[in-house]
Chain A
Amino acid sequence: MKEISLVELETRFQEKVDAETRIEPNDWMPEEYRRTLIRQISQHAHSEVVGMLPEGNWITRAPNLRRKAVLLAKVQDEAGHGLYLYSAVETLGADREATIDDLHSGKAKYSSIFNYPTPTWADMGAIGWLVDGAAIMNQVPLCRCSYGPYARAMVRVCKEESFHQRQGFEIMTVLAQGTPDQKAMAQDAFNRFWWPALMMFGPNDEESKHSKQSMKWKIKRLSNDDLRQQFIDVTVPQAELIGLTIPDPDLKWNEETGHYESGAINWDEFWQVVEGNGPCNHDRVKARRDAKENGAWVRDAAMAHAEKRVARKTA
């Protein structure tokens, strides 16, 4: 077989991507494409797994059995989503445990939204409605990501997440129509989660360092600012409908563009949380580290049992 130059391989790769042919695990791909995906998918997986913590906080204290069953199912889904994504990252040749160790050492990031505390039950509503709502908006275009295993995982995730958003909105609707105290609790949760939810779409386009290349490789389809705008436009009327006030005095409707204009996002806060200085960063990573360390004996026992059974069969 004749040798193909790297440039030629890269050209063919880009042609495939441009033609909307999905890239599969054993196909040739540029090393930087592989690295970008490993970083993005593993961080996405970590977000799903760490995302269980703020909600897990309320499972034992859900106000009734229905809410408890729903919350359990949602948290179990997040675990499943993490597992789909760790599988996808392994198809790129990454070591699953090594990516998890990167989370535990602080080397790998996860969505900064999960570094905010959940002191009240209304936070379960705000998270489902706003955080899952923003996540769905981010993830729908990822269903068409150029990398096959990631796109397929996203299709499953998006299908499962629409109930997450609805159950959250239902919690908020009930509280917003409840007693004055309940309504105040809903508004307070909304106030605390609105801005962090907007930050979930990442820095402004001109500040986003990986965006341009990711768009060219069709890993990313829509820009951070476009997705954020889409989220604001659909969420504001939802808040108004259930009688909650958007915690943004500068928010106004622009008749000409057909979009809402929002006030300035506090990017200092965003970078502080990304850099590890959010209210719960330390607790979240510690909880994950403890889970792995304290569960080591279970994993070892399961492996020893499996090996013993094989040995008995072959004896």
Chain B
Amino acid sequence: MSNAKDWPLWEVFVRGKQGLSHKHVGSLRAPDAQLAIENARDVYTRRSEGISIWVVESNNLVASDPQDSDAFFEPSESKVYRHPTFYDVPDGISHM
């Protein structure tokens, strides 16, 4: 009974208020972008959770590979000197 022309899947991003970035909240099915935005309003912002919605077709999303994530993010793991806590600050020094 499944329809060969199922509506495409969309990822939904919502901006909670001015000053905040859009955040992924989930996904939904819709025939086109306009209806995806209207459906997203009904599904994800029934309680004033947002003032702006982005939708993007899930097919267009490119993601890093979780299987390789250890190697992929290793360069940042090994550079502790990028954090302020790496440095000794003598007692008595403030505002630093």
Contacts and interface: CB of A to CB of B under 8 A. Distances in A.
Q: Does B bind A?
A: yes
Interface of A: 24, 26-28, 73, 76-77, 80, 83-84, 87, 90-91, 95-98, 101, 104, 152-153, 160, 292, 296, 299-300, 302-303, 305-306, 309-310
Given A80-B43, A299-B3, A27 B31 contact: no
Interface string B1-24: 111011101000000000000000
Contacts of A104: 1
A77 B2 contact: no
Contact of B7 (A80, A303, A309): A303
B66 interface: yes
B6 A76 contact: no
Given A96-B29, A306-B35, 14 more contacts: A28-B67, A76-B42, A77-B46, A83-B28, A84-B26, A90-B27, A98-B2, A101-B2, A160-B46, A160-B47, A292-B1, A300-B5, A306-B31, A309-B32
Contact of A76 (B2, B5, B7, B46): B46
Contacts of A80: 42-43, 46
B63 interface: yes
A95 B3 CA distance: 11
Nearest to B36: A306
B6 A97 contact: yes
Contacts of B43: 80, 83-84
B30 to A, nearest CB: 8
Q: Is the interface of B mostly helix, strand, loop or mixed?
A: loop
A302 B1 contact: no
Interface in B28-77: 28-29, 31-32, 35, 42-43, 46-47, 63, 65-67
**Most chain B CB atoms below 10 A, which of A87, A90, A153:** A87
B9 A90 contact: yes
A97 B66 contact: no
Contacts, number: 59
Contact of B27 (A87, A97, A160): A87
B31 A305 contact: yes
Nearest to A23: B66
A96 B58 CA distance: 15
Nearest to B27: A87
B1 A299 contact: no
Closest 10 CB pairs of A and B: A306-B32, A306-B31, A302-B31, A97-B2, A87-B27, A26-B66, A303-B31, A101-B1, A83-B43, A27-B66
A57 to B, nearest CB: 22
Given A24-B66, A77-B46, A84-B43, A296 B29 contact: no
B52 to A, nearest CB: 19
A104 B1 CA distance: 10
Contacts of B9: 90
A305 B5 CA distance: 13
Nearest to A98: B2
